[in-house]
Amino acid sequence: MPGLADMRRDLPRLLAGAPDAIISHRGPIAQGLLDDSRSAIVLHLSAATAMSGHADVKTLLTGVEDALHLGADAVSVHVSFGVAEETSMLAAAGLVAAGCTEWGVPLLVMAYVVGSSPSLESGKVAHAARVSAELGADIVKVPYTGSPESFAAVVSSCFVPVVMAGGSKTPWADVLTEVRDAISAGAHGVCIGRNVFQRADPVAALGELRAAVHGQPAKVLSHA
């Protein structure tokens, strides 16, 4: 994927932007590609590929104990709502949540509603967020629902912190507008991938996001 095509080359410039946390599968962590990071490390436990034709159907790959062995600070799982396999993903997320409670590891649940527009069906996004919290998530990631008013309803329905997903590649001005609107609606932060790492200057992008979320620029790290 552009922006991460060569991870040994591309990751250092992302780490230089000092994001609060980085979500990664186990390979980059195990290979030491994040060893220079001062960011929290979140091990993502589930996956699927577009080659299967069922990219929304996520499979649990590993567990909480593996995350601890790798030195991760938290874990995350993806649940796709609105597909036939939803119940299997809910069951997997529930087992992960139990493991997180046993070991004292924070859990981020990425909650996505399949086959609907978040801006048109914010009630479904709110439902997915609430289900994720009731499963045991400590933080829930959901897409922005199109307006501060509708996103505030999502946040208020969820009794744990909500962070806004970045979604597909979007003009940067629009990303910043959505981030500021989400924060004003009560979001605790953002969880953004390609809208940062596919920018010409991801460090600058991270600085603007930090200012929008925390009210202060990032302290850029040296990787000389």
3-class DSSP assignment, residue 43: strand
* Closest-CA residue to 125 (of 147, 148, 101, 150): 150
- Interatomic CA distance for residues 18 and 88, integer angstroms: 35
Rg for the chain, CA atoms, rounded: 17
Residue 186 covered by a domain = yes
Residue 224 covered by a domain = no
Give the phi and the psi of residue 58 in degrees, each rounded to 5: -90, 145
**CATH for 152:** 3.20.20.70
Q: Which range marks the domain in which residue 143 is found?
A: 7-211
* Closest-CA residue to 144 (of 129, 122, 123): 122
* Largest Cα–Cα separation, the chain: 49
- Interatomic CA distance for residues 151 and 187, integer angstroms: 8
Going residue by residue through the chain, which has 224 residues, state the pLDDT in tens, using 9 for 90 and above: 889 999 999 999 888 888 999 999 999 999 999 998 899 999 999 999 999 999 999 999 999 999 999 999 999 999 999 999 999 999 999 999 999 999 999 999 999 999 878 777 899 999 999 999 999 999 999 999 999 999 999 999 999 999 999 988 889 999 999 999 999 999 999 999 999 999 999 999 999 999 999 986 555 444 43
Q: Domains in the chain: how many in total?
A: 1
Residue 123 covered by a domain = yes
Give the phi and the psi of residue 142 in degrees, each rounded to 5: -140, 160
Residue 2 covered by a domain = no
Residue 220 covered by a domain = no
Residue 218 covered by a domain = no
pTM, whole model, 2 decimals?
0.92
Residue 65 covered by a domain = yes
